[in-house]
Amino acid sequence: MEQPPAPAPQSTEAPVKQQQNPQTTGPAPQMAPNGLGPMDLPQIPNPTLMDPEAMAAILPTQSFIPDPSMMAIPMPDPHMMAMPLMMANGNTPAAPAQPKEISADDIALYDRQIRLWGVAAQAKIQSANVLLITMRALANEIAKNLVLAGIGSLTILDDTIVTEADLGAQFFLAGVENPVGQNRAQAAHPAIQKLNPRVQVHIDAEGVKSKGPSYFAGFDVVIATDLDSDSFNLINTATRLNGRKFYGASTHGMYGFLFSDLIEHDYVIEREVGNIATQPKQETRTRSIIDVKTRKEGTKNMESVTKRELFSTWFLASDMAGLPEEYTKSKRRLKSVTPALSCLRALWEFTQVKSGQVPSNREDLKMFTQIATQKHKALGLPSETLSSEFLRSFLQNLGSEIAPVSAILGGQLAQDVINVLGQKEQPIQNMIILDGNTMESLMYPLHPEGALGTLQLSLASNEPLIPNGGAGGDVMMGVGMDGIPFDPTAMAAMPIPDGFPMGGAMIPPGISMPIIPGQIVPVLGQQPANGTGEHLPTPDASIVAGLPAGTAPPSQPSAAPNATSAQSQGQPQGESEPPKGSST
């Protein structure tokens, strides 16, 4: 597999084209104050150079959009939706702009890292546009690491307000006069920009839910932090539609996770030829060697091994996907799986039901424990590894953020982003669970059965399994037009009724699923554009009709996930801390 071709002239034309395309403007570019002179500033590469018409010309003949409800999706251009399908190589529907030349000044500044990953990777890094959503401690770490590494541009999207508790671990707020009450991203901006004047740092103080899917097309990588599951799902759906790489991550005090959906990612390992020649082959369920090139370097025989990793969406990986075979077949390995995985899955589900709230009262804790126990079972994990001691510790940490754990997870996430941009190293696949108490950072490839990578969507489109799939379409009608802020919950609605195999297929038999993903389809049109995270109207009964018998329908179904709910997650009320001796 060759490197994705990206004709050189594109990058020079980029700024012009970008202006012609209102979809990609996003935040107004802010020129950074710097002492380096304009020549040092990277150009804004435009990752969205695809000509939609050109794309249409190579669309598969059979329609990808079988269901009329899909048409209601507020996409500026329906062809955009097909984009992921056409990409045999997930590296990019709109290939990242041609890497720029690196100047001698760049080499001097980035000397110590170029010695690790080389000039070519550095050039790719410097051409990358990254979106970072929610500016809490974890995102502070990620922003620091990416800006130091010299990415092309960083856009920070956050519409929440700084509180006193934010000062605890968010070091970019240091030195800001009266930070409390300011927008969190704006307050952090000066300190981030000062880290590296060569990086364009943009602030977008709007909420993520005010953004249409095309907004995400303007970035090579989208990193969403400290949000609830619905929000991760929405954003990931948008990145899939645009063929962009997605990371989702949160910390809760001592615990944290990071998830990646790179769709399909190719990278090249350079190494000395071993005794046995490397051959193209399938290495794991998700990874294959697709090309091997050998060459002579001095006296050594070197090979460039191009590998491809396939990924799954947040929607499919976060809850339904089981552990890979090498775990399920080994009692020892199942026993070593961290119970934090079950607890995180329980948390994602809990917050869906409870409008983004974390467990706060005795009843909540009981419910949380029940869900966690179910998740644990569904993963096939032995019940003794989910101890009450662990549950208590996990719950006690909810909503908290502390410097060391944020630093570790933020370092791991940023490093993976850098490796992915440089296409040089094995990426994370696809879930990392960090436990600051045991100092473990465990990786679990979580994938549903069936197709992976780009095929995951197209396969799904052939099997609309949800009986009431049309309902989502109905409620979505009339929402969103090109250029008009629309409620992105529509994006979540889109693939779920129509797109994904659901029902029994993904759920291990015998496991009662109190919530099925269909529930996250919010009721559209009833949610004010900037919802406050307050209780929302009960959803259309048809949407939650899939509930298994015996499970009480949630009385406060999830609203459109939004930054406000994330915020409330970040500021647990006192009662969110579990009472002593609760849980189990």
Partner 1 sequence: MTAMEESPSSAAQTAPVTENGPSDPSKQQQPEQQENHENPQKPNPNATPSARSQIPRRDRFNHQSLGPSLNSTVKQARVLMVGAGGIGCELLKNLVLSGFGEIHIVDLDTIDLSNLNRQFLFRQEHIKKSKALVAKDAAQKFNPNVQIVAHHANIKDAQFTVSWFRDFKLVFNALDNLEARRHVNKMCLAADIPLIESGTTGFNGQVQVIKKGVTACYDCTPKETPKSFPVCTIRSTPSQPIHCIVWGKSYLLNEMFAHEIEELKKESDALKKIRNAVGAPDFPKLLFEKVFDADIERLRSVEDMWKSKRAPEPLRYEKLLIKTNELDGSKDSILADGQKVWSLEENLVVFKDSLERLSKRIIELKKTKDAAAPDPVIVFDKDDDDTLDFVASSANIRSTIFGIERKSRFDIKQMAGNIIPAIATTNAIVAGLCVLQSYKVLKGDYSQAKEVFLTPFGSARLMAPDRAREPNADCPVCGVFNATVTVDPAQTTLNDIVEGLLRTHLGFGEKEFVLNNEIGVLYDPDETENLPKKLVDLGIKDGSFLTVVDEDDEHPLVNVVLNIEEGALSNDAIKFKSSTAAQPAIPQKPKKAPQVEANGHSAGESNGIVEIDSQSKGVKRQHTEDGGQPLKKAKTGGASSDDVVVIEDAGGAIIIGDD
Residues 23-52 that bind partner 1 (CB under 8 A): 35
Residue 302 binds to partner 1 (criterion: CB under 8 A) = no
Q: Nearest approach, Cβ of 27 to partner 1 (angstroms)? A: 23
Nearer to partner 1, 411 or 546 (CB): 411
**E strand spans, 177-229:** 200-204, 221-225
Q: Please list the alpha-helical segments (H only) found in 127-228.
A: 137-149, 184-195
Residue 442 binds to partner 1 (criterion: CB under 8 A) = yes
**E strand spans, 354-486:** 431-435, 440-444
Residues 6+ apart with CB under 8 A from 273: 294, 301, 302, 303
Burial bucket for residue 338 (CB in 10 Å: 0-12, 13-18, 19+): buried
Nearer to partner 1, 415 or 530 (CB): 415
Among 403, 451, 455, 465, binds partner 1 (CB under 8 A): 403
Only one of the segments 46-54, 346-354, 531-539, 575-583 lies at the binding site for partner 1 (rule: CB under 8 A); that segment is 575-583
Backbone phi, then psi, for 210, in 5-degree steps? -85, 0
Only one of the segments 73-81, 140-148, 369-377, 550-558 lies at the binding site for partner 1 (rule: CB under 8 A); that segment is 140-148
Q: Nearest approach, Cβ of 336 to partner 1 (angstroms)? A: 9
Q: Nearest approach, Cβ of 408 to partner 1 (angstroms)? A: 4
Q: Please report, as residue ranges, which positions from 143 to 182 form the binding site for partner 1 (by CB under 8 A).
A: 144-145, 148-150, 163-165, 167-169, 171, 174-175
- Using CB under 8 A as the binding criterion, the count of chain residues that bind partner 1 stands at 74
What are 272's strand-pairing partners? 302
Nearer to partner 1, 440 or 534 (CB): 440
Among 50, 254, 431, 543, binds partner 1 (CB under 8 A): 254
Which two three-digit tokens encode residue 149? 């590494």
CB 512, CB 552: distance < 8 Å:
no
Only one of the segments 17-25, 371-379, 429-437, 448-456 lies at the binding site for partner 1 (rule: CB under 8 A); that segment is 429-437
Q: Nearest approach, Cβ of 450 to partner 1 (angstroms)? A: 23
Q: Nearest approach, Cβ of 42 to partner 1 (angstroms)? A: 15
Nearer to partner 1, 21 or 415 (CB): 415
Q: Nearest approach, Cβ of 35 to partner 1 (angstroms)? A: 7
Q: Nearest approach, Cβ of 140 to partner 1 (angstroms)? A: 10
Residue 404 binds to partner 1 (criterion: CB under 8 A) = yes
Residue 439 binds to partner 1 (criterion: CB under 8 A) = yes
Residue 415 binds to partner 1 (criterion: CB under 8 A) = yes
Q: Please tell me the distance from the alpha carbon of residue 181 to that of residue 173, in angstroms, as a whole number.
A: 12
Q: Please tell me the distance from the alpha carbon of residue 472 to that of residue 522, in angstroms, as a whole number.
A: 9
Backbone phi, then psi, for 447, in 5-degree steps? -140, 145
Only one of the segments 46-54, 301-309, 430-438, 468-476 lies at the binding site for partner 1 (rule: CB under 8 A); that segment is 430-438
Only one of the segments 127-135, 205-213, 368-376, 393-401 lies at the binding site for partner 1 (rule: CB under 8 A); that segment is 393-401
Backbone phi, then psi, for 27, in 5-degree steps? -70, 145
Nearer to partner 1, 52 or 168 (CB): 168
Q: DSSP for 26-75, please give it.
A: -SPP-PPP-SS-GGGSPP---S----HHHHHHTS-SS-S--SHHHHTS--
Q: Nearest approach, Cβ of 142 to partner 1 (angstroms)? A: 10
Q: Please report, as residue ranges, which positions from 259 to 298 form the binding site for partner 1 (by CB under 8 A).
A: 298
What are the CA-CA distances from residue 424 to residues 120, 385, 403, 446, 451 (Å)? 10, 37, 29, 23, 25
Q: Nearest approach, Cβ of 307 to partner 1 (angstroms)? A: 12
CB 246, CB 271: distance < 8 Å:
no
* HEC string for 458-477: HHHHCCCCCCCHHHHHHHHC
Only one of the segments 83-91, 110-118, 219-227, 463-471 lies at the binding site for partner 1 (rule: CB under 8 A); that segment is 110-118
Tokens 């570790």 locate to 408
CB 224, CB 239: distance < 8 Å:
no
Residue 217 binds to partner 1 (criterion: CB under 8 A) = no
CB 394, CB 436: distance < 8 Å:
no
